[in-house]
Amino acid sequence: MGWASIIVVNLIGIGSNFDNTGVGLAYGSDKIKIPHWVNAISNVVGGTMALLGAFIGDKVAIFMPATMADWFACIALCGIGMFFWYAAYIHPRLSKQGTKLWIPTPGLWQGILLGLVMSLDNIILGFGSTVSGTASLWVSAISIALWGYVMLWLGHVIGYSIFAQFVGKYSSFVAGILLIAVGMYQVYG
């Protein structure tokens, strides 16, 4: 594999994971920690989806075109964003205690769900990268998984350490906006 292929594989990995940065920013800005093992699980799912796309992407595309996968991801991410709003603003008004609904640290199932939601388009990318012959399917899938981990971690660190200080008490509102924006980007981006 030459330098051009290495550059292309890294660009595939980076380009397919900008949504991970937005999700990391959203969770970080609301001061919700994403453990490294949850990040790893989420991105192993992403790499697996890319492999799945490489092997059976043409058959999956018959039943679920790329636009449908994008809409599923959009709906799920917007739903998570609206849950952030519900937990912070609606639940306190409806509950007798008047306290914000606590959102726990993501665990195994949330990591798998985030991985599925953020990687539905990886099926199409995996298929596209193997058809174009830019690199082997294993290298593309590993690149997508590794860059997914880095991008989610980077977004989370920026959101948790820097962004949360700027938004303060509006952190849940901004987190919801970010998740909805990432969801909309899936469809319109």
Where do the domains of the chain lie? 3-188
Global pTM reads 0.80
Under the banding of pLDDT at 50, 70 and 90, the label for residue 43 is: very high
Under the banding of pLDDT at 50, 70 and 90, the label for residue 14 is: confident
Under the banding of pLDDT at 50, 70 and 90, the label for residue 41 is: very high
Lowest mean pLDDT across 97-106, 141-150, 156-165, 176-185: 97-106
Which pLDDT belongs to residue 153? 95
Residue 97 CB contacts under 8 Å (≥ 6 apart), including other chains: none
Under the banding of pLDDT at 50, 70 and 90, the label for residue 8 is: confident
Structure-derived torsion over alpha carbons of residues 70, 75, 76, 82, reported in degrees to the nearest 10: 140
Which pLDDT belongs to residue 74? 86
Tokens representing 32?
């919700």
Span 168-189, pLDDT tens digits: 888 888 888 988 988 898 888 7
Residue 177 CB contacts under 8 Å (≥ 6 apart), including other chains: 81
Distance from the Cα of residue 144 to its chain's centroid: 12
Tokens representing 43?
């991105």
